[in-house]
Structure 1
Amino acid sequence: MSTYAATMSPDTSPVQPDLPDKENFVDLAHRLGPQMAGRAMQVDSDNVFVSDSFATLKEEGLIEAGVPRELGGGGAEIPELAEMLRVLARDCGSTALAFSMHTHQVATAAWRWRHQNALLLEPLLRRVAAERVILLSSGGSDWIGGSGEAEKVEGGFRVSGRKKFTSGAEAGNILMTSAIYEKDDGSRSVIHFGVPMASANVRIEQTWNTLGMRGTASNDVVLDDLFVADASVAFSRKAGEWHPVFQTIATIAFPLVYAVYLGVAESARDIAIDIARGRPQADPSLAGRLDTELRAAQLAHRWMLDIVALNAPSAHTVNEVMIGRSLVARHAIAAVELAMELAGGASFYRAAGLERRFRDIQGARFHPLQAGPQAHYAGATALGLSTAKVY
């Protein structure tokens, strides 16, 4: 880690006096990062999944990092998980982003188990810890509007649908997803459930051919006439409206996901500064503007974590986290653009690593809430209007 990154990374890791011989997960990420950095360029070039890096995460015990210790996990809280992802992203953005999709689901389930007495989540969390089960998120496919179709049949539902942006699909064990059920009266609800990726009614289609974050292999997962038993439905909600569970998910998940983009921007800054030190014509004002943009992204991300620390997910916390998400994205993207400019022509060469980070950082634009809906949500909040259907 650079001196710069060290000065800007608060020590948010929980003290672990009962395990003095065990690395915390941030230190572990620092140790493992160089291995992942060595693979990142080839994975990006070949447009394949970061499978070796995910195997390392599993072998080293990071899969269960966010599971409470009482349930057999690592007991890492959200600030430590965010810092872990931020560190991993400095070496391989794709590994960190794909892993954030598992991590945020574990962290959300752990938070609900601890703070909302959601005991139905305990078996899943225990499985993650004991078996190192990897959870997949269907991400933007299953945002507030929902996707896919569920038909009511005896004992459950028949579900079909295409789940886009399923990061790390080939490494996952359970897809946490949903489908829309239209009732006889015309009302629409969304049922939520887990899908074993080994099911014969589930397949991965290789659709991920993208500008950046290539190693996430965020391919489509297709559900084809999959039976979901009534007992397997975790909860249901109105389609197209915010639900308290989604307020919790949004509040907890996005500080973790955007820790990745912050780490990408920080690594771009360090590369550019190293290059610029060897260029007599380098413009100090560019370096200053770069650090100013990066500091804004860091402060916005710290705000997101401050909101999580309130332990009170609501429409208010969604608004504050999403403001932070937009600011992290805006300033991180600007920082990487300035890093390219500061490094000059050297940044155009793939070997320098800057152009990959330039491509990877663009992904920060596309997670919910994107710029338009986020501004609408913030504006509606400011004016005292309903945000129930703003997403």
Structure 2
Amino acid sequence: MEGKLMPRDWIAEAQAIATEIAAHAERHDAEESFVAEGYARLKEAGFFKALVPEALGGGGAGFADVCGAIRVLGAVCGSTALAFSMHTHLVAAAAWRLKHQGAPTEGLLRRVAAEELVLVSSGGSDWLESAGTAEKVEGGFRITARKPFSSGCELGDLLMTSAVYDDPEAGPIVLHFGVPLRAEGVTITDSWHVLGMRGTGSHDLMLDRVFVADAAISGRRPQGKWHMLFHVIGMIAFAAIYSAYMGVADGARRRALEIARTRRPDSHLLQRIGEMENAHAAADMAMREMIAIAVDGEPGLATTSRAMTCRTLLGDATIGTVSRAMDVAGGAGFYRKVGLERALRDVQGARFHPLQREPQHALAARVALGLDIDG
């Protein structure tokens, strides 16, 4: 219809940004420096507010489109994709909870849009148990904690985290809250010296008696128990996070095929390519289901278990894809300039997000047997 604005093509825009930042990826990996150029371009293009509803000042993007954008970025720079995914899943969960549960997240979403806030997650390192202590004081709590894996914290604005309050009546209670990265008592350590995803800036954050007002506590739950909040997180977050690893696998496959096309396709090379293609197809199928679960699912035990199963399958398949891409490339893949060596290191991060393999297997088994998942 004449005069009607066409919807934004977030994936095409991500492809343009990926072209721009590809040249920086190797340098950030070598220097262990934060992917500042990628973050700057994503912010300039409005990606950090993409999932905020238009009515609240955001981009009104679809979740699948943003996951697709993360995947595109991951093909050239896994660190940019993974760091951005950590902000993305927090915004996605807040928007879902506002729409479907009437949760009080509108204020946060409006701030993300108006102030272009960059959110930082500590969820993976906390999970059900959480970490750190909350001491009750007048008007609020004093939080003391070490929060590792705080991706993007160097350019982050608000840490979304939790700590444990030993309630004299109810016992250990996990408190959820946000902490400004520039608040008194918050320190970024120089700790992110790792195998892969070196540009994510996932340093440990130290919280030294940081004050959090009672009114800033956004949620309370029993420590170590599954809670509806985590069913929402399980349904949504890992589709965004693992889009980054899917992108790494895409990029490795593409590079391996470029190298293979310069060689005579003997039976051994064809076998290696076929194995790589199968692993990549398995990853893609799991990726598509994870996104479908996040878009159309209902949070709960069965949905969480299915999403976590996909997370393990996708992790294994992306690692398998990149490993086989090295086989396809042969000796050429051993050179850093080719990019497969970095992809092989980056994709190893897929092993470590919750639920890791053994806890995921246990959850799937408990669900299959009808057992209490908190047992």
TM range (shorter): over 0.9
Partner of 2:186: 202
Q: Out of 351, 359, 369, which is 1:373 matched to?
A: 359
Partner of 1:83: 68
Partner of 2:58: 73
* C-alpha deviation, 1:249, in angstroms: 1.0
Partner of 2:303: 317
Partner of 1:364: 350
Pairing 1:139-158 to 2, within 5 Å after superposition? 139-158=123-142
Partner of 1:332: 318
Structure 1: gaps (5+ residues): 1-15
* C-alpha deviation, 1:306, in angstroms: 2.1
Partner of 2:277: 291
Pair 1:322–1:231, CA change in 2 (3 A): same
Equivalent pairs counted in the alignment come to 373
Q: What secondary structure, in the 3-state scheme, does the structure 2 residue paired with 1:219 have?
A: coil
Pair 1:18–1:159, CA change in 2 (3 A): farther
Partner of 2:114: 130
Pairing 1:92-111 to 2, within 5 Å after superposition? 92-111=77-96
* C-alpha deviation, 1:186, in angstroms: 7.0
Return the letter of the residue paired with 2:71.
R
Distance 1:60 1:21 in 2: 16
* C-alpha deviation, 1:51, in angstroms: 1.1
Distance 1:60 1:324 in 2: 31
* C-alpha deviation, 1:35, in angstroms: 1.2
Partner of 2:16: 31
* C-alpha deviation, 1:21, in angstroms: 5.4
Structure 2: gaps (5+ residues): none
* C-alpha deviation, 1:229, in angstroms: 0.6
Q: What secondary structure, in the 3-state scheme, does the structure 2 residue paired with 1:146 have?
A: coil
**1:187 pairs with 2:179:** no
Partner of 2:43: 58
Residues 87-138 of structure 1: CA deviation (Å, up to 9, x unaligned)? 11111100000000000000000111111111x2111101111111000001
Return the letter of the residue paired with 2:252.
A
Partner of 2:370: 384
Question: What's the TM-score, normalizing by structure 2?
Answer: 0.97
Partner of 1:3: none
Residues 57, 113 of structure 2: 8 Å contact kept: yes
Distance 1:29 1:56 in 2: 10
Distance 2:135 2:234 in 1: 28
Residues 271-315 of structure 1: CA deviation (Å, up to 9, x unaligned)? 001011112266111111101110001001111122223341111
Return the letter of the residue paired with 1:112.
R
Partner of 2:263: 279
Residues 50, 58 of structure 2: 8 Å contact kept: yes
Partner of 1:243: 227
Residues 148, 180 of structure 1: 8 Å contact kept: yes
- The RMSD of aligned alpha carbons is 1.5
Pair 1:18–1:381, CA change in 2 (3 A): farther
* C-alpha deviation, 1:167, in angstroms: 0.4
Distance 1:77 1:281 in 2: 41
Moved more, 170-179 or 21-30: 21-30
Residues 139, 164 of structure 1: 8 Å contact kept: no
Residues 79, 199 of structure 2: 8 Å contact kept: yes
Q: What secondary structure, in the 3-state scheme, does the structure 2 residue paired with 1:309 have?
A: helix
Q: What secondary structure, in the 3-state scheme, does the structure 1 residue paired with 2:148 have?
A: strand
Residues 213-232 of structure 1: CA deviation (Å, up to 9, x unaligned)? 00001000000011111000
Residues 297, 303 of structure 2: 8 Å contact kept: no
Residues 248-280 of structure 1: CA deviation (Å, up to 9, x unaligned)? 011100011111111100110000010111122
Distance 1:196 1:355 in 2: 36
Residues 17, 38 of structure 2: 8 Å contact kept: no
Sequence identity, in percent?
A: 47
Pair 1:99–1:18, CA change in 2 (3 A): farther
Return the letter of the residue paired with 2:66.
L
Return the letter of the residue paired with 2:307.
V
